[in-house]
Amino acid sequence: MRSLYLTATEPHCGKSLVALGVLENISRTTRRIGVFCPVIQTRAGGETNKNIDLLITHFELNIEYGDTYAMTFREASRLLAEKRYDDLLNAIIQKYRILEERYDFVLCLGSDFSLEPVEFNLNVEVARSLDAHVLIMANAFHASQDALVAAFNTALEAFKAKGCPVVGIVANRVPPETFSETGEALRKAFEEEDIIISVVPDDRLLASPTIQEIAEQLNAEVLYGDDKMDRLAHHYMVIAMQMQNYLGRLKPHALLITPGDRGEIILSALQAQQSTNYPPIAGLVLATGERPAPTVKQLLDGLPSVLPIIAVESETYETVTRLNDVHSHITPDNLNKIETSLKLFDEHVDMEAILEHLGRIHSRGIPPKRFLYNLLQWARSDRKRIVLPESTDPRILKATEFLVERGIADIVLLGDRGEISSLINQMGLSVDFKRVTLINPADYPKFQDYANTLFELRKHKGLTEELAAETMHDISYFATMMVYKGDADGMVSGARHTTAHTIRPAFQIVKTKPGISVVSSVFFMCLEDRVLIYGDCAVIPKPTAEELSEIAITSAETAKAFGILPRVALLSYSSGTSGTGEEVERVRRATRLAQQRRPDLLIEGPIQYDAAVDEEVGRSKMPGSKVAGRATVLIFPDLNTGNNTYKAVQRETGAIAIGPVLQGLNKPVNDLSRGCTVEDILNTVAITAIQAQHA
């Protein structure tokens, strides 16, 4: 079976959670994946469908937005009004068949705008016409168990009457207090049905809208904090009492609703946000059409940072009523919500059983998504302590929240505790300080011990005790010393510092493993259909033959540590014995040295890039080779070639380049690009943790 039809018994069931979970599992074994909505609701300003946009962006699907749907809701309504039901159905089927030819698996998202009988019956007919298995969802948050069972039963009977195979039902947003009872009630009600029954608990994070979503759905005016509109509102609190009374009642990440003329509420909320003694505040909604008084506005205008403050014309009671109708969405840039959805899906939906119903899906190769997924799982399996010295960088703090929340690593942040806590509050982050250690190097009890150790390690180079103490105030040296002394398992830096500033302390303190003379690097290149390892593209300008052989062997070990079978190709401008010259001879000698040192590894060289990665070219240029055409580890002859190649491949193909990952050190230290994203930091921390597991 090549498709799954996800439909709902009512609007706002949380289809994005299940859609993410399904595609995450499918993407681990299937490369060509498509998504399809028979009918979409058009939005003002040409805004794209949020579910489609999320899936295309997050999974980097090779599909144009215009190919993901058959028609708009307005077009479908017109055909139905003209009683042209067959024309509507045929248009949907025709569009789907095009996708079916192009993709190994298609996830279909049924419409749920009103779910009146006509629309629901259309979903049934479409699922039958597409020969798709069906997964039915319902929102259990406000539904009684009897109502939930009735809703599922009605939908199940409708699909069965048309001969549509139903693979399972998913009750989403089940209140935690009734979670067990709801699951038992559903299993009892449908015990004779051959379906998978899943019960997913309600989650505060997923249910919380951003201030941007609230502003859009209330048609509010943004007065302040337009750069912080991605904050989440976990609670709504109407503030009608005086400052000294409401402050003690503040809930974390609450959105405060108050009349616009209550200047003392606005100012006290801003002060509470700056204080570490009160929980973070999501923002303020000013009701009644009033705006802050001129003197209050003048004060707000002069502040360097202000909470999100939006204003509406409606009265306070009406505003609260409208807020309760605001719906939250999962957007591609909200990694926390995405990861929470995937975690809930993995824990509460038996995807393996669903896949058994779907049958075997033809696979054309394991995509990089599986590799990225495995990184987080491997890191999580044996959690390590990773120090992130650049604690005032917002990207580092966002990554810290994610890493700690998902149990990927225990984090150490360097800097002033008050400053870090204040930044976390200002950003509206939720960081569990039981799993984060804040260290200020200046008053750390082990500071002098660290300085003494540095002096002993470097005194033969002329380092004095005074200079050692001064050097230890440098966060890169301090963090590296933490790793050396065993107070951290690894270090990741470089978001605000150069590569040299990050890795020089590692060369001087951590040093290389026994038998390794050079520190080198690799990039994990996540291409469309596979993951390759490129080395060395960041450290050694022009390695000797001996150094090149070491880089090849070390890179092969790195590949094995990350679940990649190493087939090592040492690259040059000629393949095999066809070329001559100083450069190709250096590669040839490096290949012989590597083969002699590690006869257990598959190592080939010199070889050209096309012969290394293309099977047809490899057979032509190097027949009988076990590496040619199938290489997974590509070793470049010099830094100039490697650095330019990885960047060219990254830019021209859209590949994800993870690195540089340093190899050969006794303990893991890794560098970030100064243009790194939060996702880059997550991947690098996970890699560092895995290296620490293998140290």
Rounded Cα gap, residues 565 and 601, in angstroms: 10
Cβ-based neighbours of 680, under 8 Å, separated by 6 or more: 658, 672, 673
**pLDDT value of position 164:** 82
Which value, to the nearest 10 degrees, does the dihedral of the CA atoms of residues 520, 525, 530, 531 take? Answer: 30
How, if at all, do strands 281-287 and 633-635 pair?
Answer: unpaired
Task: For residue 487, give both structure tokens.
Answer: 């107070």
**pLDDT value of position 361:** 46
Name the phi and psi angles at 520, rounded to 5.
-130, -170
Rounded Cα gap, residues 424 and 430, in angstroms: 8
Rounded Cα gap, residues 656 and 146, in angstroms: 48
Cβ-based neighbours of 628, under 8 Å, separated by 6 or more: 569, 575, 604, 607, 611, 612, 618, 619, 621, 622
Task: For residue 339, give both structure tokens.
Answer: 């990861």
Task: For residue 624, give both structure tokens.
Answer: 């009988």
Task: DSSP letter for 509, please.
Answer: I
**pLDDT value of position 673:** 83
Provide the strand spans (E) within 460-587.
490-493, 520-526, 531-535, 567-571
Contact (CB, 8 A) for 133 and 358: yes
**pLDDT value of position 365:** 32
Rounded Cα gap, residues 13 and 236, in angstroms: 21
Rounded Cα gap, residues 113 and 362, in angstroms: 33
**pLDDT value of position 46:** 64
Q: In what order do the strands lie in the sheet with 69-72?
A: 69-72, 33-40, 105-109, 3-8, 133-139, 166-174, 196-201
Task: For residue 403, give both structure tokens.
Answer: 């890493």
CA angle 315, 319, 321 (to 5 degrees): 125
**pLDDT value of position 210:** 93
pLDDT per position as a tens digit, 247-284: 999 999 999 999 999 999 999 999 998 888 999 999 99
Rounded Cα gap, residues 21 and 79, in angstroms: 34
**pLDDT value of position 369:** 65
- H or E stretch covering 81: helix 73-81
Torsion sign over Cα 243, 247, 248, 254: positive
Helix ranges (H only) for 324-416 are 335-348, 351-358, 368-381, 394-405
Q: Which amino acid is at 355?
A: L
**pLDDT value of position 426:** 84
Contact (CB, 8 A) for 561 and 690: yes
CB atoms within 10 A of CB 693: 17
Cβ-based neighbours of 158, under 8 Å, separated by 6 or more: 120, 121, 124
pLDDT per position as a tens digit, 352-374: 888 887 764 443 334 466 677 77
- H or E stretch covering 19: helix 15-26
CB atoms within 10 A of CB 247: 17
**pLDDT value of position 94:** 86
Helix ranges (H only) for 130-276 are 145-161, 179-189, 204-207, 211-218, 243-246, 263-274
What's CA 181's distance to the chain center, in Å?
33
Task: For residue 468, give both structure tokens.
Answer: 């050692």
Residues in the chain, pLDDT under 70: 1, 43-46, 113-118, 359-370, 529
Cβ-based neighbours of 570, under 8 Å, separated by 6 or more: 548, 552, 587, 590, 591, 594, 603, 604, 605, 606, 607, 635, 637
**pLDDT value of position 117:** 66
Rounded Cα gap, residues 194 and 465, in angstroms: 74
Rounded Cα gap, residues 663 and 81, in angstroms: 66
CA 548 vs CA 532, 557, 587: distances in Å: 18, 14, 8
**pLDDT value of position 499:** 82
To the nearest 10 degrees (0 to 180), the angle between helices 368-381 and 678-694 is 60
Name the residue with tokens 């939060």.
678
**Residue 78 β-bridge partners:** none
Q: pTM to 2 decimals?
A: 0.66
Torsion sign over Cα 504, 483, 373, 602: positive
3-state helix, strand, coil in the chain (%, to 5): 45, 20, 35
Contact (CB, 8 A) for 51 and 130: no
Name the phi and psi angles at 169, rounded to 5.
-125, 145
Contact (CB, 8 A) for 662 and 513: no
Q: In 3D, which of 581, 514, 568, 518 has the Cα closest to residue 546?
A: 518
Provide the strand spans (E) within 474-582.
490-493, 520-526, 531-535, 567-571
Walk me through the domains of the chain, giving residue ranges and CATH numbers. 3-204 (3.40.50.300), 209-323 (3.40.1390.20), 375-510 (3.40.50.10950), 520-663 (3.40.50.10750)
